Amino acid sequence: MKVVTSVLSVFFLLFLAASGQSQSKPAADLIVNNAKVWTVDKLHPTAQAVAVLGERIVAVGSIAELNAWRGPNTRVIDAAGKLLLPGFNDSHVHFVSGGAQLDNVQLNDATSPEEFARRIGARTKNTAKGEWILGGDWDETKWNPTQLPTKELIDPVTPDTPVFVNRYDGHMALANSLALRMAGVSAKTPDPPGGTIVRDAQGNPTGALKDAAMEYVNKVIPPLTHEQRLLAVKRALAHAASFGVTSVQDMNPEYADIAVFSELLQRGELTARIYAAPFIMRVDDQAKIGIRHAFGGPYLRIGALKGYADGSLGSATAYFFDPFTDQPSNHGLLSDEMQPVSVMRDRMMTADAAGLQLCTHAIGDQAISIILDLYSDVVKAHGEADRRFRIEHAQHMAAKDFYRFAQLQVIASVQPYHAIDDGRWAEKRIGHDRASRTYAFRTFLNHGVRLALGTDWNVAPLNPMLTVYAAATRATLDGKNPNGWFPEQKLTVEETVEAYTMGSAYAEFQEKEKGSISPGKLADMVLLSDNIFSTDPTKIRDVKALVTIVGGRIVWDRIETK
């Protein structure tokens, strides 16, 4: 096995020679030895050891070859034959809300309305007067019968505590009566553009608000304090490290979130690399000061913008050409940002002219098609360029649009866990034909579309092993599709890891800096408890991160390496 030495180390050796020092090469700060290294570098796909100097990888090769990098102060991790991968790069998270949800009321696994109400009632006992009960991530599809929760379910246990708990997809939330009164929402309140107030037979709000209608309540909830935001980020960072997630692409952070990231960076406490994509409505802020895509340093970058075309399938607000099978009068909602569509076009044109990257949430087939139209308009107006357009989720494709996706070189930023979650009930909502083009990962690859993988945390778990399991098996969470829901769309484990590392790095213009275990790249790696390439795919979800390394620094250590 031939050792690969980086340009960085060569320059260092030349410096030593010029200065008259006799040492043949510098000693590495860290060596990971006796590993099964899967590099995601097609020129050198496997190795046994990796040497790190400072924040970067300087050599990848055999155990014998890398012994030359060992010095008296080199820290050596004996991987004991375990699998070493590049650190996972989650291409789509909501980092602060994810961190906050770790301490919020947990409703996702509440399997009945009664349990839902009980947990909220229990939470009130630990909620100070004037504070809100938030978060939740509830999922009514786990109830029998399936039914949306109403304010009447929780009012008896929350008479003096305002409640606004979101559905797990983030496109619907439930308010109790106190919260509705504080927001001024009544039977006379109109549905806003891009949103729906769910009403009973008499026209009164049930407490459930969809998409833009959630803003009625959101605007009366006190914003997080700096201390609360700081705690949420620290919780999120620790959570990411425990799973081997070394980079995240944060969708829709507030500027106050980015300020916290910057504060932690300055303190040396940022243990994951962050690419922040604020709301596209703020396009003028970045455009005015000349920030372009991927602006910043190795740990914190901005220069992307996140927009919304529609809602979600679960909340029946994803925008389709045809109506929902189970709701014949409804084919979803265009977001408030798209009303009219010309407003979104203008923002995209402004962003692209400024060199900013466009990342657009689009789930329904018509929403995706409209965004492809808008991206095409941008290219026609401004000419060809390395833009790396992204569509976030890209869940339900029209057959005609796979080719356009590839032609425009749009990146599909997708979340495989959603497939095994939604697959429990999606066909009831959109029928078999449309479902066959849902989470169509294999079809994307067959058309030459680049994939960038992520989770949408806190909509789905941050754990990459669940994502790899989902992509490789497509076995729905209800156990009813053990051989895979539309199994022809499965990815191999190798394809999944590549999309989760190099694919995600490419999606943020960082493929030369990270995404593979290659000399010269940032030393972001994860050591796993089991070899996911040889284990039974059904067992991948149980694999753990043993050691997580970011920039040569160990940020998670389950085995307490010395």
Last residue of a domain, one of 184, 218, 252: 218
pLDDT for the residue 28:
97
196 and 114 assigned to the same domain: yes
In a domain, 284, yes or no: no
114 and 31 assigned to the same domain: no
214 and 103 assigned to the same domain: yes
153 and 209 assigned to the same domain: yes
Note whether 325 and 430 are within 8 A (CB): yes
> Mapped to the 3 state alphabet, what secondary structure does 469-508 carry?
HHHHHCCCCCCCCCCCCCHHHCCCHHHHHHHHHHHHHHHC
pLDDT for the residue 559:
85
Last residue of a domain, one of 203, 218, 233: 218
107 and 201 assigned to the same domain: yes
Last residue of a domain, one of 218, 233, 268: 218
Q: Which amino acid is at 186?
A: S
Q: How many domains does the chain have?
A: 2
Kind of pairing, strands 195-199 and 205-211?
antiparallel
Q: What is the CATH number of the domain that holds 532?
A: 2.30.40.10
100 and 209 assigned to the same domain: yes
Which among 151, 148, 127, 123 has a CA at the least distance from the CA of 136? 123
Its pTM stands at 0.92
CB proximity list for 494: less than 8 A, separation 6 or greater? 533
Q: Give me the residue label for tokens 């409804």.
A: 330
In a domain, 20, yes or no: yes
In a domain, 138, yes or no: yes
Task: Round to whole Å and give the CA distance between 316 and 328.
Answer: 11
Q: What is the span of the domain harbouring residue 36?
A: 1-87+515-562
Note whether 442 and 490 are within 8 A (CB): yes
Note whether 338 and 344 are within 8 A (CB): yes
Cis peptide before 190 (omega within 30 of 0): no
Q: What is the CATH number of the domain that holds 203?
A: 3.10.310.70
132 and 180 assigned to the same domain: yes
In a domain, 46, yes or no: yes
CA distance from start to end of the chain: 27
Task: Round to whole Å and give the CA distance between 77 and 547.
Answer: 10
CB proximity list for 373: less than 8 A, separation 6 or greater? none
Which among 377, 329, 345 has a CA at the least distance from the CA of 280? 345
In a domain, 405, yes or no: no
113 and 83 assigned to the same domain: no
77 and 102 assigned to the same domain: no
In a domain, 536, yes or no: yes
Note whether 503 and 471 are within 8 A (CB): no
In a domain, 457, yes or no: no
135 and 195 assigned to the same domain: yes
In a domain, 12, yes or no: yes
139 and 197 assigned to the same domain: yes
1 and 50 assigned to the same domain: yes
Longest Cα–Cα distance in the chain: 88
Tens digit of pLDDT per residue, the chain (562 long)?
444 444 444 444 434 433 334 456 789 999 999 999 999 999 999 999 999 999 999 999 999 999 999 999 999 999 999 999 999 999 999 999 999 999 999 999 999 999 999 999 999 999 998 899 999 999 999 999 999 999 999 999 999 999 999 999 899 999 999 999 999 999 999 999 999 999 999 999 999 999 999 999 999 999 999 999 999 999 999 999 999 999 999 999 999 999 999 999 999 999 999 999 999 999 999 999 999 999 999 999 999 999 999 999 999 999 999 999 999 999 999 999 999 999 999 999 999 999 999 999 999 999 999 999 999 999 999 999 999 999 999 999 999 999 999 999 999 999 999 999 999 999 999 999 999 999 999 999 999 999 999 999 999 999 999 999 999 999 999 999 999 999 999 999 999 999 999 999 999 999 999 999 999 999 999 999 999 999 999 999 999 999 999 999 999 999 876 6
Q: Give me the residue label for tokens 């800096």.
A: 513
